[in-house]
Amino acid sequence: MRISSETLMDSSLRRLTSRLERFNTVQGQLASGKILQKPSDDAGGMNRALMLRADQRLRDQEARNGEDGQTWTQLGDSKLQNSLERMRRARDLVIQARSGASGPQDRQAIADELRAIQGELVSTANSRHLGRGLFAGFSGGDAITRVGATWTYTGDGGQVQRRISDSEVVTVNQTADQVFGFSLGAGNDVFSVFDQVVTAVGSGNDAGMASGLAQLDATFGTVQTSLGIYGARQATIETAIERNREESLSIKAYLSETEDTDFAKAVLELQTEEIAYKATLGAVAKAIQPSLVDFLR
In tens digits, the chain (297 residues) has pLDDT values of: 455 555 655 666 666 666 656 656 655 655 656 655 555 556 666 677 778 888 889 999 999 999 999 999 999 999 999 999 999 999 999 999 888 777 788 889 999 999 999 999 999 999 998 888 999 999 888 999 998 889 999 999 999 999 998 889 999 999 999 999 888 888 889 999 999 999 999 888 999 999 999 999 999 999 999 999 999 999 999 999 999 999 888 888 877 666 656 555 555 565 666 666 666 666 666 655 555 445 445
| Any domain includes 207 | yes
* pLDDT at position 4: 56
For residues 177 and 183, the answer to whether their CB atoms sit within 8 Å is: yes
- Select from 30, 70, 36 the least CA-distant residue to 53: 36
In sequence order, the β-bridge partners of residue 170 are 162
| Any domain includes 115 | yes
* pLDDT at position 140: 82
SS3 of residue 246 by DSSP: helix
- Domain CATH code at residue 113: 1.20.1330.10
| Any domain includes 3 | no
CA 138 – CA 159 distance, rounded (Å): 7
* pLDDT at position 41: 56
- Select from 166, 173, 101, 105 the least CA-distant residue to 134: 173
| Any domain includes 297 | no
C-alpha distances in Å from residue 66, one per residue of 44, 72, 122, 252: 33, 10, 29, 20
104 Cβ contact list (under 8 Å, min separation 6):
204
53 Cβ contact list (under 8 Å, min separation 6):
255
| Any domain includes 200 | yes
Total domains present in the chain: 1
| Any domain includes 271 | no
| Any domain includes 37 | no
| Any domain includes 293 | no
Range of 122's domain?
A: 53-254
